[in-house]
A = this chain, B = another copy of it.
């Protein structure tokens, strides 16, 4: 249960003390409880995802947000007649305290919460526990089922969604915007090549599946998926910040069925899908709402359907007889998408070059403006978003920019606190570009940080360096190495409560599974991109996170081991680095890899620290090539990897005066 000691809310007084950001949910909860009674349901479970296990969702699917007022992206809610609780992880604890009213217990979890024990406590034996089976993955269904097994409480799927029923006509309408094709210059391979690749994997599998079912649009913090958006090189705008659209795909050895609102496809997109009709590369367009019925019919034949248990909903899964299922954690599409080919790698690198220019422009602007007291968190976020939009191929931010000053950085989202030279500031932002998706976090201080802030920042940076520099064998799981990002903090009894990294897409999801460092991620393979983002948060004081994107590459060892090449190109704040804490390896670079940390700074030390991230790029040896005639942005975007250092120098170092 929520600890009253640290909760911002005080529900023990009458009337309760609530922050102004809390939502009054009494009427909504009462209406839901009426609906539950009408359906003889004693507990109703509401997830934060949609029917495709998406992490970022459309407003229309924000059932949990509407019901609770909590807008964080990861959470689970259980409502009974006399209790209501929200489970969420440490990224969102403070936010939840600010947004929930006293109807809600806040259950602080270290991972995605389930609430099995709480349900047993709160629902009498003989009671019914219900949920919408189209909003829960098979694995999540199974975990509830296991928790209730033998307890005398029944877990019942209910096709009527009770929240939707209560929400009524206040609920936003479905998406209607255009679904468009991605130009060939921005795709790593054609959709026909991708389909052929999946069919080959089907043919080579010992179980000889006859079809693959694709459900996910993108990924969530605890689940993942993939779908038509990636497979067919199409994009839509159904979900803010994520160029995806609602669809299911059933890909058989001879047919392709795409379940989508056909009217939304551009003429070109439609043409691309239908060019080879009829034939095995002809995409049959079917109504989105027909996916389940079609799958049910298909499953009556002599077929085997391959699907991923973590991102397929229990609602779809249930229509295929058990003996016709080939269940895997990962579908071949997911695995194929996770490993970027050379063209995709180059596209992602190029996007990071332009993105670095925008972020560095932002850092420069902050350095000038913050001392004047003119910037608040909201204006800061708006400014970085605008700088990104000015970059070539930009499609806006890849998620809602996090711009958090002082104690707000322990809260995952920003308000309107004024940035100050007396506080730390955390900026976690990213961009969508036609050639790639970016995500980067920098933490800074323009005045005099406290010794604790400086030590914590340095230890977070040490973790980032230690993991980025790690050499490891092929097929190593991320979870087996993510502790290297924590050790420098652990040494002094510090830690952070979130994951250490996630995959990232090519103009797709900023959180792209199954790559990353969590327990359900696949082993690291050359060609995968992941974020590396240790942090440290001190409630009520400050927050630190240092996030870069890194490509898994072959290491320069005799055996074919792997390591990371960091593709983020934005420097760190020297003002927060206590060099005396760094090991010689961290300062100088050592072992088999190239040096990735500059030699001890020449006096006077520059404002921003950086170690050359690219083993292939000599540019970051901090040589000086100012060219005042071309704008840095132009130069960077045309020369890709060779010019960002120039840009840094132009803006920050001016070492050639």
Contacts and interface: CB of A to CB of B under 8 A. Distances in A.
Interface string A91-118: 0000000000000000000000000010
Contact of A117 (B206, B304, B470): B206
Nearest to A473: B495
A491 B471 contact: yes
Contacts of A326: 150
Contacts of A120: 206
A55 B149 CA distance: 32
Contacts of A592: 491-493
Interface in A549-590: 555, 557-559, 561, 583-585
A321 to B, nearest CB: 10
Contacts of A558: 492-493
Interface string A130-163: 0000000000000000000111000000000000
A206 B324 CA distance: 36
B487 A470 contact: yes
Contacts of A471: 490-493
Interface in A467-525: 470-473, 476, 479-484, 487, 490-495
A487 B561 CA distance: 12
Interface size class of A (residues with CB under 8 A): 35 or more
Give the most central of A149, A324, A471, A483: most B CB within 10 Å. A483
A591 interface: yes
Interface string A581-625: 001110000011000000000000000000000000000000000
A387 interface: no
A639 interface: no
Contact of A481 (B117, B325, B483, B591): B483
Contacts of A324: 150
A326 B150 CA distance: 8
Contact of A557 (B473, B476, B492): B492
A537 to B, nearest CB: 14
Contact residues of A: prevailing secondary structure: loop
B150 A207 contact: yes
A479 B585 CA distance: 25
Contact of A491 (B322, B479, B495, B591): B591
A1 to B, nearest CB: 16
Contact of A323 (B149, B482, B487): B149
A622 B325 CA distance: 65
A323 B150 contact: yes
B484 A207 contact: no
25 contacts: A117-B206, A120-B206, A149-B323, A150-B304, A150-B323, A150-B325, A150-B326, A471-B490, A471-B492, A472-B483, A480-B480, A481-B483, A483-B483, A484-B484, A491-B591, A492-B558, A492-B592, A493-B555, A493-B558, A493-B559, A493-B561, A495-B559, A583-B583, A583-B584, A583-B585
Given A121-B206, A150-B323, A480-B483, 9 more contacts: A150-B324, A479-B479, A480-B482, A490-B561, A492-B558, A493-B559, A493-B561, A495-B559, A583-B584
